[in-house]
Structure formats: structure tokens, C-alpha cells
Structure 1
Amino acid sequence: MTAATGNTTDSTEGSGGAEVLFDRRGRLGLVTLNRPRAVNALTAGMVDLLLRQLTAWAADDGVASVLVQGAGERGLCAGGDIVAIYRDMLHGGNGTADFWKTEYRLNSLISRYPKPYVALMDGLVLGGGVGISAHGNVRVVTERTRMGMPETTIGFAPDVGGTFLLSHAPGETGTHAALTGAHLAAGDALFLGLADHYVPSSALSSLAVALENERPEDAVARYTGQPPASELAAQREWIDACYDSDDAGEIVTRLRTWTGPGQDAAAAAADTIEAKSPTSVKVTLASLRRAAALTLDEALAQEYRTGLRFLQGPDFREGIRAQVVDKDRNPQWKPATLAEVLPAQVDRFFEPLDGGELDLQAKEADHA
């Protein structure tokens, strides 16, 4: 990851040992996620700090633009701290729900930030990392970018506005990305509408320095390179044909029986989907279809609703156990197949919450 260089640091905004560093470099507000060993995975404390500082900078005339980057060489952000979520589920706490409330408020703020919000999406950008970058208005990818929403792998569904973003991707490419959890290279991120600019990773440090006193559009234009082609764009024929259904079982059948160009890739996608949590796959598909007609804030509220239902079910905990805790990569999903997940079970994920819906209206007032 790039580490911007400059000559001023406001010690009141961060310290070297903090999980998030906030610096002032000229007219640039610099955010560095600072958990490199965890690929800068987001904790509850981090999202609270981010929401507070971005709210303050939005009203600060001395800050013309904001830059978000990750410490270390592995990525901007690998998502939320799912081990913390696992522990919270084991102890029946409310920590995860509170974390999501703040995180989704942060995502909403970023989407309508009043100043240029530049995200350096270098390396891994997964889950929550998408939420703090892809909602910005100056989104930079590199040849090292590996982006994705892999939630179905851990018995969950895309959140942080991911259902909104992917439901608005060209054709059914967003559906494919969501159900398979595929990692996306720079060309695919640009094609899906998750990023705006391609800059070689070797130029990121120079770009960060330029942003200290230049307009982002001028600085980024000087370092923009020719992006690689999108593999998904080249596979639109079979992706659009196979995923154009509201039934996950029908999608898998179409993938398995596809005989045109891309036959092997379609069959591999079917294998991938069938290895995911069946409940997650069906809820994700329903979420995407609904999100296509929602605003981002409405989609975030829907994701909060479904997320709390995942906390109550078995697959989210089992998915984290299998992938991250025990690492046996052998989750035991319940139900075990797509056919066993009934429509009524999926519908329950979208029912109103007894304890109240996500409130995105009082967000910055509490963090000013």
C-alpha cells in the first residue's frame, strides 16, 4: 500500500499505534487504515473513528479533499473483523448489530460526501473494504486490485451497500459476482461500476503527494494508465443468459446446461454456487432483485434487516468457523441444498424488525 508523504501531522487526529491514522497534508485529509497484519480489517472502533473524522472534515474549510488508503502491502481492507463477529455470536451480544449501525452510516456518508473522496483500492478490497471505497466519488484501482463480496462463502450476504452496487452492474454480471463471491481484478471492477480510474501501483505514492494541493481530477488524470480488459465483459453472453432468473436453482441448472461459448466457466460457476450456503445464495439473490429498485440508504436498511436474521441462524456462525476459526473449509450448511431452502424461509429475512429498523437520519449528529 502507498504511504503518503507530507510535512504536517495533526497529533490530535491520530497516533502511530492507532488502528486508523488521520493526517492533514496541505489541503488533503489523509486516512490510513492501520491494521496491516489483518489486511486492515475493520473493527467497531475503526468505523466509529472514521465516521467522526469524516463528519468533522466535511465541515472543515481547510480540507479540500479526502484520501483513504491501507497500511502494508496486502490491501486496502479485507472486510469487517469477522472473528469479532463470531465471538459476539457465541456470547449472544449486541456488538455486531451496533457495529453495523455505525458502519452503514459511514457508508451512507461516503456516498454523498460533499468533497472529493479518493479511495486507493490497491490489493485486497473485500466486503467492508468495498463499503469504504466503492461509494466514494474518486475510486482508484491498480494491477494488484482483488475486489469482491465473498459473503456467501461464510453463510452471509453482501452488505455495506453491496447489494445496491451489484444490482446496478451491467446485465447480470453483478448477480454472478454476488452469488459466486468471485475476486475481481481492476478491469472487472471498472466494468461493474465499482471503480473509476486505473493507476499503476508504482504511481500511488506520487499521486498521494499530488493530492495534497491539487484538485483530484487533475492529479488522477496525470497518473491514469490503460486498464486491463474486463473478463466479465467478455463473458456477458452466458452470464446474462444463465443468471436472468429469480430462482437460484434455475440459475444453477442453466449454468450446468449451458453449451455456448464459456461452457466450462459456466459449469465452474455452478460448482462454486453449490458450495456456498444455500440460504445465503437465495437471500442474496432476493436482496439483489429488491435492491435494484431501492436507493442506497434503503438498501442499507434492508441489509441491516437481513443481517440480523443471519445472526440468528446457523450458517453465518458455521461459515466463519469453517473458513476462519477452525479453517477446515468444510462447512455443514443447514439446510444443505438450494432445494431445501423454502420461499417462506427466504421471505422471513425481509420482514420488519421488531426492535426497530436501521436509522440513517441521525448519523452525523451523533458523531460531530
Structure 2
Amino acid sequence: MVGKHAGDALPAEALFDEVLFERRGRLGVITLNRPQAVNALTAGMVSAMLEQLTLWADDDSVAAVLVRGAGDRGLCAGGDIVAIYRDILDGGNATADFWAEEYRLNSLISAYPKPYVAFMDGLVLGGGVGISAHGSVRIVTERTRTGMPETTIGFVPDVGGTLLLSRSPGESGTHAALTGAHLDGADALFLGLADTFVPSGRLAELAAALETQPVEAAVARFSEQPPASTLERQREWIDACYSGDDAEEILRRLRAFGGETAGPAETIAAKSPTAVKVALESLRRVRGLSLAEALEQEYRVGLRFLEGPDFREGIRAQVVDKDRTPHWQPATLAEVSRDDVEAYFAPLGERELQLSSKETNHV
């Protein structure tokens, strides 16, 4: 079980199965504690984080918050997709409930009234992006491998990822979303998913400095110039190939352009055609929306994917059976009609996620 504490009752170090909360000086520290699963998020972890962050927001003894991952593999590999797979097979509501709570956590992090520092070291994928890239101080390292790889498992970016990637320079976010590529720290900075580069070997020193020093000064002392971004170098062909709203045309341009576009073309061609088209539509529709509105749209789309075949099949092929040979339905982009895509965005009625100011204003 994941433990919970009242603000003043929190001891110097509180150890739970899945997440650690501790107060070090004026710093509240959250450590995701499932290193064997690269700290993949469970419902219990999300609920505990939501509660503790709400308490710390009103605690004058906590000046800033730090989130990091246990072990040496990464901050967070995303949500627990094996649990999602089992819930799909059981026809349960656990995944819908998990997403609703997770999206409330993402919204809280985005509006947090104190510096929220995320160590985006190692793997930071999917839900890991949701608990880091919405924060106010986002730190990457030479070990960072981040991204939204959902199309690989027949799903689409969520946790506010569609909004984040829609704001990336040019069409670089579209490229990242459709290919699901793992990106390094320099690319994360270019995309706008992070702010600062700090060598991984200095994170422990930075964490110690944050206990007593103002966040801005401590981070500035340890930050360094990042390497060059590959995505920034590729900006010309990315913008040329990914503009527009037609997935088939994007694929045609990538194949026609030649050179280093051949890899992304084949990567996208191997993804779920439905996921590719709905991800593209999601990125286009989210422009100009608030984070709350974006999360509501992602929830609407996500529940529709739970009802379809590709999300279940993608998890099976990649994580359960690990045969890496998903059988998508439909199998080609041409078979996914405009009506099919629009159906993913239709209102859910009573099942809608309502992220009103009343519900999300924990702080």
C-alpha cells in the first residue's frame, strides 16, 4: 500500500512501498520508488502524490518540491500498462479512474504555487512526462531519454502531452508524437519539455543545495551548456514533411524526401494507423486550449481507445507476449476514415472528465 500523511505529521523520512515523501530542510522530496519497473506509475502513487503536493502547497515550511526516481534507470517509464491491459481484458473501470486522478495531478503540477523541480534523468516516458514537463523547473541530463511513445502500443499521447508537443517549434512536436521516438536531453530542451541541462553526476549536489538555497540560484550554479539538438538540425525537413492534417500525405512526403526521413517514414508506417491519425488530429485540435481542456480531450480520446482493439493489441505485442508483431485493425491509414477519427472526440456524456477550477484548484 502507498502511505499518506498529514502535513505536520510527516516525519523526516517516510518510506512506503511505491513512493517516498520526505522533508529535507525547506525542500519537499518525492521519490518514485519502483526501480524494478523504472518507477512506472500506479494508481496508489498518483493519489499519494496528489494528496501530499496539496498539503505541501499550504505548508510554509516547504519552499520547493523535488521529484526524482529511485534506482539508476530513470525518473519514470510511464503508467503501468500491464495493469491497463488486465483492466481492458476484465472490462473494468480502473484505467478510467486512474487517468482521471492522474490528469488532476498533472493539472495541479502545472499550477503549483511553489517551485516544482523535476530531475528528468534516464527514462522519462509517457506518464513520466506528465509529472515532470508540467513543472516549473525541468532538468535533463546526458542520460535523459524522454518522449511520448504511445503510438507504438496503439494509443496516443496523453497527460497533457498533446498540448506540450503542439507548442514545440514548427512541426517538431508532430514528428515526436507520430514516431514515438526516444529523445535525448538536448531534444527535450528544444521541444520545450525541459528548461535546464545538468550533468547526472551533479544531481545529488543540486538536490542538497535545494534544501537550503533558493531554487533559481541553486539550479543556475549547476547548469551547463547542453549538446546540440538533433531535432533542431532536422527542423527544415520536419517542418516540410509534417505540415498539414493528412497522415497519408505526411507519410508520402517523408518517403519522397529521402535521406534521413526514410527511418521516420517506416517507423510511422509500423504504428497503429488509427493511433497515428487520432494523434495527429489531437495535436491539431489542442492548439489554443488550456491544459484542463487538453486533458479533458485526451480523456475523451483515451476512453475510446480502451473500447477499440489496437490499444489492447499494442500492449500485448510490446509488453505481454513481446512478439513485436501487432495486428492493427484497420491495418492501413487509408482504411481509417475521417468519421472513424472524429468518433474518438465525440462527447462522453456523463463520463466526461470535468477539470473545472473547483475540482482542480487544490492549491
> TM-score w.r.t. structure 1 length?
0.94
The residue number in structure 1 matching 2:127 is: 128
Q: What is the Cα deviation at residue 364 of structure 1?
A: 5.5
Aligned ranges 1:94-105 → 2 under 5 Å: 94-105=93-104
Mapped pair 1:304 → 2:299: yes
Equivalent residues of 1:156, 1:315 under 8 A apart: yes
Mapped pair 1:266 → 2:265: no
The residue number in structure 1 matching 2:211 is: 212
The residue number in structure 1 matching 2:271 is: 276
The residue number in structure 2 matching 1:73 is: 72
> TM-score w.r.t. structure 2 length?
0.95
Provide the secondary structure at the position in 1 that maps to 2:117.
Answer: strand
Aligned sequence identity (%): 70
Show structure 1 runs of 5+ residues with no match: 1-8
Distance in 2 between residues matched to 1:109 and 1:42, nearest whole Å: 17
Equivalent residues of 1:14, 1:20 under 8 A apart: no
Aligned ranges 1:12-31 → 2 under 5 Å: 14-15=14-15, 17-31=16-30
Equivalent residues of 1:52, 1:364 under 8 A apart: no
Distance in 1 between residues matched to 2:55 and 2:17, nearest whole Å: 18
Distance in 2 between residues matched to 1:242 and 1:324, nearest whole Å: 31
Distance in 2 between residues matched to 1:359 and 1:14, nearest whole Å: 33
Distance in 2 between residues matched to 1:18 and 1:298, nearest whole Å: 33
Provide the secondary structure at the position in 2 that maps to 1:32.
Answer: strand
The residue number in structure 2 matching 1:354 is: 349
2:317 maps to which of 314, 322, 328: 322
Distance in 2 between residues matched to 1:282 and 1:96, nearest whole Å: 23
- Tell me the amino acid that sits aligned with residue 279 of structure 1: T
The RMSD of aligned alpha carbons is 1.4
The residue number in structure 1 matching 2:52 is: 53
Equivalent residues of 1:51, 1:364 under 8 A apart: no
Distance in 2 between residues matched to 1:355 and 1:315, nearest whole Å: 25
Show structure 2 runs of 5+ residues with no match: 1-8
Q: What is the Cα deviation at residue 355 of structure 1?
A: 2.6
- Tell me the amino acid that sits aligned with residue 320 of structure 1: I
The residue number in structure 2 matching 1:38 is: 37
Equivalent residues of 2:12, 2:22 under 8 A apart: no
- Tell me the amino acid that sits aligned with residue 92 of structure 2: G
Distance in 1 between residues matched to 2:205 and 2:359, nearest whole Å: 34
Q: What is the Cα deviation at residue 264 of structure 1?
A: 2.3
Distance in 1 between residues matched to 2:141 and 2:259, nearest whole Å: 28
Equivalent residues of 2:32, 2:68 under 8 A apart: yes
| Aligned length in residues | 354
Q: What is the Cα deviation at residue 359 of structure 1?
A: 1.8
Distance in 2 between residues matched to 1:297 and 1:254, nearest whole Å: 34
- Tell me the amino acid that sits aligned with residue 238 of structure 1: W
Distance in 2 between residues matched to 1:248 and 1:13, nearest whole Å: 50
The residue number in structure 1 matching 2:333 is: 338
Provide the secondary structure at the position in 1 that maps to 2:349.
Answer: coil
Distance in 1 between residues matched to 2:162 and 2:219, nearest whole Å: 28
Distance in 2 between residues matched to 1:76 and 1:192, nearest whole Å: 19
Partner deviation per Cα, 1:50-76 (whole Å, 9 max, x = no partner):
000001101111100000000000000
Q: What is the Cα deviation at residue 12 of structure 1?
A: 8.5
The residue number in structure 2 matching 1:117 is: 116
